[in-house]
């Protein structure tokens, strides 16, 4: 293939199998921001409800956001949050919302991108909902943690 040329992978001859993907990521924030999320006291409303909805919607629209992704028929999408506060050193704490998205369906290609996009958009939504009180939030660690189905079978991250 010449440099600069792109193409969508042809999956016509692949067989349909049940496929699942799980992705994770997180958004770090100040302790006060996490406290506001927990208490539901942010001006824009229920941060986690909006972020969950955004993640589900994003997974369904992945093929519109990532140019070479195939449109897929998702049969299940779940977005979950874990509010974490842990001490790293005596005088500091790390606060974050850990995001987990799982996608499932029957298809000829995997659902990894849909799970990853759900995590990313959920994190961006949390940022948007909280930016008035904490512009220092940092989104990161977005990664695939599990994939099953298809010719390549099971993938589990270390």
Residue 29: CB atoms within 10 A of its CB come to 23
The whole-number pLDDT of residue 54 equals 98
Q: Full-prediction pTM beyond 0.85? A: yes
The beta-strand segments (E) located in 3-154 are: 17-29, 74-89, 92-107, 138-148
DSSP 8-state secondary structure symbol assigned to residue 124: H
Distances (CA, A) of 75 to 2, 17, 37, 78, 96: 37, 13, 30, 10, 29
Tens digits of pLDDT across the chain (158 residues): 567 788 888 888 888 889 999 999 999 999 999 999 999 989 899 999 999 999 999 999 999 999 999 999 999 999 999 999 876 555 455 899 999 999 999 998 889 999 999 999 999 999 999 999 999 999 999 999 999 998 888 999 98
The Cα 53–Cα 77 span in angstroms is 10
Helices (H) and strands (E) in the chain, counts: 4, 5
The Cα 39–Cα 26 span in angstroms is 19
Is 22-156 a domain of CATH 3.30.70.640?
yes
For 107, the token pair is 């298809």
Sheet with 74-89, edge to edge strand ranges: 74-89, 92-107, 17-29, 138-148, 155-156
Q: State the catalytic residues.
A: 128
Residue 125 DSSP SS3: helix
The whole-number pLDDT of residue 38 equals 94
For 64, the token pair is 């519109």
The whole-number pLDDT of residue 7 equals 80
């Amino acid at each position: 293939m010449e440099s600069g040329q792109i193409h969508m992978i042809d999956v016509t001859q692949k067989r349909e199998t049940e496929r699942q993907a799980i992705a994770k990521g997180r958004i770090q924030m100040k302790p006060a921001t996490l406290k506001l999320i927990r208490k539901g006291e942010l001006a824009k409303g229920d941060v986690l409800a909006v972020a969950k909805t955004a993640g589900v919607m994003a997974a369904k629209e992945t093929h519109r956001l990532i140019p070479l992704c195939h449109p897929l028929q998702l049969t299940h999408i779940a977005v979950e949050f874990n509010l974490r506060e842990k001490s790293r050193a005596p005088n500091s704490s790390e606060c974050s919302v850990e995001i987990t998205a799982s996608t499932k369906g029957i298809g000829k290609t995997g659902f990894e991108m849909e799970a990853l996009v759900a995590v990313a958009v959920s994190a961006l939504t949390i940022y948007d909902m909280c930016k008035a009180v904490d512009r220092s939030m940092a989104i990161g660690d977005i990664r695939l943690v599990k994939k099953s189905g298809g010719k390549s079978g099971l993938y589990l991250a270390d």
